[in-house]
Chains A and B, each alone.
Chain A
């Protein structure tokens, strides 16, 4: 089955800096890669996703890149703000599957 590795487990940055979280996956058939954000005490929510037919997707200060050859994808947050502090989960799904395999999560702390 699919295996998703996520790094780092914790990331501490100063407000205004950029943050990058990286995930690798094992199943070359995976074709959908969502990212979820979970603020303290709240439910995880989808913030951005990418499908395997594109290499990059942006939404304001967040972007996701995908390298299918190397089987890794990354979340980039620019100009970080304290409200970006949360746990971020990456996931991968294979074509025809509706069950995401999650990474273990990255705790991002943005210091004012």
Chain B
């Protein structure tokens, strides 16, 4: 069974704090993604990675960075959290042109 695990289901942070969201997949997938999910806006791609140390910006990369030091792990970093980054964050992984497997999501609240 494919497993994509996100480190935290719920986080509450203060404005200006640095936030790390971690994602680990156990299926040796090449591709990993970070999405942001907001009501009425669907799934918006923040960053994706097609290989270790490789990353590409998605549709809404501003205010975010990512790290992929190992194939199984893809981290999303908010250098200085702001209230407009309060959202649900979903990690996903896939093989080349394949089905996306999502994590359970991390709900971040920035006060």
- Chain B positions 1-20 with a Cβ under 8 Å from a chain A Cβ: 4
**Contact mask for chain B residues 93-111; partner A; CB cutoff 8 A; 1 contact, 0 none:** 0101111101111000000
**Contact mask for chain B residues 17-41; partner A; CB cutoff 8 A; 1 contact, 0 none:** 0000000000000010100000011
Picked from A49, A89, A96, A98, the residue with its CB within 8 Å of the CB of B50 is A98
Nearest-neighbor residue (CB-CB) of A4 within chain B = B42
Q: How large is the interface on A (under 10, 10 to 19, 20 to 34, 35 or more residues)?
A: 20 to 34
> What distance in Å separates the Cβ of A23 from its nearest Cβ neighbour in chain B?
11
Bound complex: CA of A99 vs CA of B33, how far in Å?
9
B42 near A105 with CB under 8 A, answer yes
Residues of A with C-beta under 8 A to B43: 44, 89, 102, 105
**Contact mask for chain B residues 42-61; partner A; CB cutoff 8 A; 1 contact, 0 none:** 11010010100000001000
Q: How large is the interface on B (under 10, 10 to 19, 20 to 34, 35 or more residues)?
A: 20 to 34
Q: Is A43 an interface residue (CB 8 A)?
A: yes
Residues of A with C-beta under 8 A to B4: 43
Q: Is B66 an interface residue (CB 8 A)?
A: no
Nearest-neighbor residue (CB-CB) of A95 within chain B = B97
Picked from A96, A98, A103, the residue with its CB within 8 Å of the CB of B42 is A103
Q: Which 8 A-B pairs have the closest CB atoms?
A: A104-B42, A43-B102, A102-B43, A105-B42, A46-B99, A44-B102, A98-B97, A98-B31
- Excluding A43-B105, A46-B100, A102-B43, 13 further A-B contacts by CB distance (< 8 Å) are A42-B104, A43-B4, A44-B43, A44-B102, A46-B99, A89-B42, A89-B43, A98-B31, A99-B48, A100-B100, A103-B42, A104-B42, A105-B43
